[in-house]
Amino acid sequence: MKRVARVAAIALVLMLVFALLGWMMMPRWDSRPYTDHIDVSSSEPAIIPAHASIAHEGRYPTRETQLSIDIGNGKALSAILREPVGAAGPRPACLFIHGSGTSGAEDFGDIANAMASAGIVTLVPAKSSDDYTVLHRDYPRFASEYGRAFDTLLGIRGVDRSHAGIYAESEGTWIATILASQRHDIAFAALTSAPVFKGREQMAVAMSTYAHEAGAPKPVIDDTLKLLSLDYRPFGLQYADFDADHYLESLTMPILVSYGVYDTAMPIEQGAQRIMQVAQRNGNHDVTVRYFAGNHQMRAGRGLFAPGLPLADGYTQALENWVNGVASGAVASGWATPQVAGVKPNQQFAAPERTNSGIIGSLGVLFGVMLAGPVLLALAFLLGIVATIRAGVRERDGLVRVRGRYVSLRSAPAAHDTGRQRYANVSVAEPCWSMGLSALVLSLLVYGYLSAVGAAAVFALTPAPHMFGIGWHMLQVLTVVVVVVFAWGMESLWAKRGRIDGIRRAICVLVIAAVLCIFLSLAFWGLFGL
């Protein structure tokens, strides 16, 4: 009973210590539901100028021309120019800026062609892929390259230079705001699926929503917040802290903000409200907001990247009418339709105002902690192999080495003591391997579970109801079991501490350190939470 009490006491202390560490690793912010919903004045997303006659979609046949745009340093980007055939007079024009999911000149073809058929000249340049990776994205450089493309558009015959603007999607809206801060000849900005906030703030909305819709329990949703609060500098990813607020101040021209209500990646209500607030603070009241029954790509479906989906109903018509209306002189009071209209949105989570971390503040430190456990266990295993080889060398056909020579276990008392010591050391090492292997298996199960949740969230896979919740509770129970195994092993090693030789002592120390590192990483992921 005394041994059971000691094991229980050790396990309880370990649970409390790592629960406290897990709490200290929580970021000092939380993902909260969004409640300040935007007021949608009409369910109809159409945009109609009050006092102007404008061309509508399909009025003109279109013509496509392949171009090459010089972006400097001996590099050029392909581009597709689309023009309305037979449209009289200088025409409004629009440059397209890619988001993270598109990059070719052939992208935006249906949108650009529809706009051209309504009398708007459109130019879609390819996006340079140089040094564009998951870890690094140079938005100022992209703004410079798109600036070259905008100059090309202004030089096209038949373009009204005073009514040329930009269309940007998703990540491209950050590039668009930089471009707008650098020049004052952008007549309008159509921003679609705009993140608006800093990368990690916007991702807090996306990942919280993805994980929630996949059925993940709250501790796993909290794990995404921990990841988003970390310092990524050792790995790049500085663009996660792109100063969106600073460049948002540059949007002084008429703005059209469009979101799909099925878009779970963007702050679809909070973003529109932020743009309107910043614009109004700067004296710009020409902001129009529209919501469509579409996804992040403004396609008529809920799949984030599903190919072949048609555009959301009324999207291109509203876009064309707005551009042509702006070109005809319509201002804030010049529309026959309300400022905010369309399908009623429902943003689930709010973008946080700050994302400071807990006691683990770096992705590099987290990776170090996660790798330390397996690495230390591997070292202990190698030492175990060395110990086995060493014992094999010292024992030949039932002999052990005593005082410089091999003697039989049956003929030398000292040999009996040496043999007993060897087997005692083996029995001492057994708790070490039980502790280490059980902790390693648990960590693999946890990382497998988190990977499954991540895959379900990103690819919009919906498992059986409550499956992830049940799995999380099972992992918590297994964590308690492994802690008890570790406590039992520690108690056993303490009782036999006088019979552990040098190499096996080193093995046990490595295993104990490995298990504690594994427990620390599990504490980060919330396994010790109440």
Q: In whole angstroms, how far apart are CA 529 and each of 21, 22, 434, 441?
A: 10, 7, 24, 20
Q: Which two tokens stand for residue 188?
A: 């309008």
Residue 155: what pLDDT? 94
Q: What is the pTM of this model?
A: 0.78
Which residues, 6+ apart, have CB-to-CB distance to 420 below 8 Å? none
Please report the pLDDT score of residue 427 as a whole number.
Answer: 47
State the distance between the two ends of the chain, measured CA to CA, in whole angstroms: 28
Residue 212: per-residue pLDDT: 74
Q: What is the pLDDT of residue 16?
A: 93
Helix axes 363-394, 502-524, angle to 10 degrees: 160
Is 349 within 8 Å of 32 (Cβ atoms)?
Answer: yes
- How many Å apart are CA 488 and CA 369, to the nearest integer? 24
Specify the pLDDT at position 103: 75
Q: Which residue has the tokens 């996804």?
A: 295
Long-range interactions of 479-485: CB distance < 8 A, separation 24+: 479/442, 479/522, 479/527, 479/528, 480/11, 480/15, 481/438, 482/438, 482/439, 482/442, 483/11, 483/14, 483/15, 483/519, 484/7, 484/11, 485/434, 485/435, 485/438
pLDDT, tens digit only, all 530 positions of the chain: 778 888 889 899 999 999 998 888 877 666 678 888 999 999 999 999 887 788 889 899 999 999 999 887 778 899 999 999 999 889 999 999 998 877 788 999 999 999 999 999 999 999 887 777 766 788 889 999 999 999 999 999 999 999 999 999 999 999 999 999 999 999 999 999 998 887 777 777 777 777 777 777 878 877 777 777 777 776 767 777 777 878 888 999 999 999 999 988 889 999 999 999 999 998 899 999 999 999 988 998 765 556 678 999 999 999 999 999 999 887 767 788 999 999 999 998 887 766 677 777 787 888 888 999 999 999 988 887 877 776 666 554 454 544 444 455 555 554 444 444 444 444 445 677 888 899 999 999 999 988 888 777 766 666 665 788 888 889 999 999 999 999 988 888 777 665 566 677 888 888 999 999 999 999 988 898 76
| The pair of three-digit structure tokens given for residue 513, joined into one six-digit string | 């350190």
Q: What is d(CA 127, CA 144) in angstroms, rounded to the nearest whole number? A: 12
pLDDT value of residue 423: 41
- In this structure, the chain runs to a length of 530
Residue 159 one-letter amino acid:
V
Q: What is the pLDDT of residue 421?
A: 47
Say whether 213 sits in a helix, a strand or coil.
Answer: helix
Find the DSSP H helices in 496-526: 502-524
Domains defined for the chain, CATH in brackets: 2-26+358-524 (no CATH), 62-342 (3.40.50.1820)
Tell the residue number behind the tokens 């794990």, with chain if given. 223
Contact (Cβ atoms closer than 8 angstroms) between residue 92 and residue 52: no
Q: 255-260 and 159-169: which strand pairing?
A: unpaired
Q: Given this model, what pLDDT does residue 345 score?
A: 95
**If you search the block for the tokens 């039932």, which residue do you land on?**
398
Residue 279 near residue 285, CB atoms below 8 Å: yes
